[in-house]
Amino acid sequence: MQGLLVLLIALPLVTALFTIVASGRFAQRIARISVAGTATTFLLATVFLWQALGGHAMQSVVLAQTWGILTVDPLSALLAFVISGISLIVHIYSVRYMAEETGYARFFAMLDLMTATLLLMVCAGDLITLLVAWHLVGVLLYFLLGQDMRSRSAHRYALWTFLTYRFGDLPLVLAAVLLFSAYDTWSLSEIFSRITADPLGHEFLGLPLPELVAALIALAAFARSAQFLLHTWLPYTMGGPTPVSALMHAGIVNAGGFLINRFAPVFVHAGDVLHWLFIVGLVTSLVGSVLMLAQNDVKKALGYSTMGQMGFMIMECGVGAFSLAIYHLIAHGLFKGTLFLGSGGVIKASRKDDGVPKDELYTFVVERRPPRQRQPWLLMALITLAVPISILVAAHLLVSQDFFQKQGAIVLLFFGWVTGAQLIFATYRMRTRNVWQLVTLIVFSFAVVVVGYTLISHAFDIFLYPDPGFRAQLYAAADVDIFWFDVLVVLMTLVVVSGWLLTYYAEQQGRRRARPLAGLWSSAYAVIAREFYVAALYGRLSASLMRAVNRINVLLRWA
């Protein structure tokens, strides 16, 4: 099986080389060779995943004496299966989509190289191999996003992405140097075992080494997964080919969640860093979701949607639900890849007919007509408070009897509760003939999603981290002070309750009192439409930097 592990990484490299060498002879048929190689890679990844599901021990191959270690464990086997599967879909889609583009053979060669690099990244068993793969992903993405040599905007934002990735590489390099200097080995398994045996054995600048390394890894994950203030590259890279956008949003941007899970034995001893993960992920999810709603471009809206989902993924790591983040990573990758591959057809169809029927939902959302008859607001408020939280608690009780002792699980329950409450609240405001039929459908759908989400995430938990003691340590490390935990729960509860109180006040006072708020809403929308001025701020900073560089050049010439 060690030979198959090497072949898993080497096969896309071979097909990439053959694509470049034989492009002149085989012309358009070269894409079929690339697709065949990717399909074979997917079959090999399926074999490794099947073995991991069967409980086979971790397999490793050492290509050099101290580095070049390839490892197949449950995490790498699962992600290799997902990466090769998504890459195969993108390859098949690109055969016809890119047929009339220049650099046809070069594009498939770059796709094969990206597939090989992503597989090398998830199978890396040492720090050097991980760093090489992590860096190459950014380099290859730069060339894929700049596939169209004639597009200035594509090259501009490809360079923007490249620089952001390089900024995120620095913390990971520093973390690798600190780990090697402390433990004198590049092997990840040896480093993790020594940290587990003595987590406080090494310090740097008076700080425990695990906490410092975890903070650096978190920064690297923030840049790669487009967290707030490091997110501007993601929604602006839509000038690249659609297959590249699908691969990027379905696999590459998820690398932050993989990196945090790979270093889970380090984060077990870095509870404060996990709290920062939760805060950054929460802010990113809110900002990304809000900005998504203000976009008039399909692909850009999908980009901000990905940003919001990456925030949720980082937030799940912050509450100790590492395996849940992997499930979220995979589900989002498949879903978002499908949306990107179908976005062109949606745009083409909407140019002829928007396809939006003039039904009750359209009338409510677009024309903002209030319903003629509503159910009593107090009754709907009680349903909002009782139904979602009851479904969430019941679903988790079926899986884990002690989940009330896990703060992270309770925080996720409250976020699910707010989502369910939002659905029922929207139903109350919607114009419909049979509101109870719609409420029943929403409650049933919500119950099915929650139960399925809970059971699947629990299965991922057992598969990725079979040691129950380690899973308990992850949740324990994410615990916060009971005072702040209670404050968070109370605030989230007040969000739902205040929504219903404001609704009741608006119904009692009428619309005349709401007119003074129109200016406030317009100002808020202007800020959101300008994306909180983050991109504009970065643009001014870069312009100022260029002016300073030009002045320095002039001074150096005179000197």
pLDDT digit string (tens) for the chain, length 559 residues: 678 889 999 999 999 998 888 766 665 678 888 999 999 999 999 999 999 998 887 788 888 778 889 999 999 999 999 999 999 999 999 988 888 777 888 899 999 999 999 999 999 999 999 999 999 999 999 999 888 767 777 788 888 889 899 988 999 999 999 999 999 999 999 999 999 998 888 888 888 999 999 999 999 999 999 999 998 888 888 777 888 888 888 778 999 999 999 999 999 999 899 999 988 998 898 888 888 877 777 778 888 888 988 998 998 898 888 988 898 889 888 888 888 888 777 666 666 665 555 555 445 445 545 444 455 656 666 666 666 667 666 666 665 656 555 666 666 666 666 666 656 666 555 555 566 666 676 677 667 667 767 778 788 889 999 888 898 888 888 887 767 766 776 776 776 677 666 665 665 555 554 555 556 667 777 788 788 888 888 888 888 988 898 888 888 876 5
Q: Contact 252/164 with Cβ under 8 angstroms?
A: no
Q: What pLDDT score was predicted for residue 82?
A: 94
Question: What distance in Å separates the CA atoms of residue 411 and residue 403, rounded to the nearest whole number?
Answer: 11
Residue 69 phi, psi dihedral angles, 5° rounding: -95, 125
Question: What distance in Å separates the CA atoms of residue 514 and residue 505, rounded to the nearest whole number?
Answer: 10
Question: What distance in Å separates the CA atoms of residue 76 and residue 72, rounded to the nearest whole number?
Answer: 6
Question: What distance in Å separates the CA atoms of residue 48 and residue 61, rounded to the nearest whole number?
Answer: 14
Spatial neighbors of 164 by CB under 8 A, at least 6 apart, are 223, 230, 232, 233
Give kind and range of the element (H or E) at residue 61: strand 59-62
Q: Where are the domains of the chain?
A: 1-125, 153-355, 372-513, 525-559
Burial string for 232-263 (b: 16+ CB within 10 Å, else e) reads bbbbbbbbbbbbbbbbbbbbbbbbbbbbbbbb
Phi-psi category of 101—alpha, beta or left, where left has phi over 0 and alpha has psi -120 to 50?
beta
Q: Which of 328, 354, 307 shows the shortest CA–CA distance to 164?
A: 307
DSSP, collapsed to helix, strand or coil, labels residue 203 as strand
Spatial neighbors of 556 by CB under 8 A, at least 6 apart, are none
DSSP structural state of residue 58: P
Spatial neighbors of 78 by CB under 8 A, at least 6 apart, are 49, 52, 326, 330, 463, 464
Give kind and range of the element (H or E) at residue 337: helix 322-352
Phi-psi category of 60—alpha, beta or left, where left has phi over 0 and alpha has psi -120 to 50?
beta
Longest dimension (CA), the chain: 81
DSSP, collapsed to helix, strand or coil, labels residue 70 as strand
Q: What pLDDT score was predicted for residue 262?
A: 95
CB atoms within 10 A of CB 27: 11
Q: Contact 106/143 with Cβ under 8 angstroms?
A: no
Spatial neighbors of 301 by CB under 8 A, at least 6 apart, are 292, 295
Question: What distance in Å separates the CA atoms of residue 351 and residue 83, rounded to the nearest whole number?
Answer: 34
Give kind and range of the element (H or E) at residue 472: helix 468-477
Q: What pLDDT score was predicted for residue 104?
A: 85
Question: What distance in Å separates the CA atoms of residue 63 and residue 167, rounded to the nearest whole number?
Answer: 29
Q: Which of 518, 355, 358, 511 shows the shortest CA–CA distance to 431?
A: 358
* Cα–Cα distance list, 148 to 233, 234, 286, 367 (Å): 18, 18, 33, 41
Q: What pLDDT score was predicted for residue 361?
A: 47
Question: What distance in Å separates the CA atoms of residue 421 and residue 382, rounded to the nearest whole number?
Answer: 10
Question: What distance in Å separates the CA atoms of residue 332 and residue 100, rounded to the nearest whole number?
Answer: 30
Q: What angle do CA 457, 463, 469 make, to 5 degrees?
A: 90
Question: What distance in Å separates the CA atoms of residue 42 and residue 19, rounded to the nearest whole number?
Answer: 19
Spatial neighbors of 364 by CB under 8 A, at least 6 apart, are 371, 429, 430, 431
Q: What pLDDT score was predicted for residue 436?
A: 67
DSSP, collapsed to helix, strand or coil, labels residue 72 as strand
User: Roughly how many angstroms between the first and final C-alpha of the chain, as a whole number?
Assistant: 64
Q: What pLDDT score was predicted for residue 365?
A: 47
Q: Contact 100/37 with Cβ under 8 angstroms?
A: no
Amino acid code (one letter) for 523? S
Give kind and range of the element (H or E) at residue 71: strand 69-72
Question: What distance in Å separates the CA atoms of residue 442 and residue 422, rounded to the nearest whole number?
Answer: 11
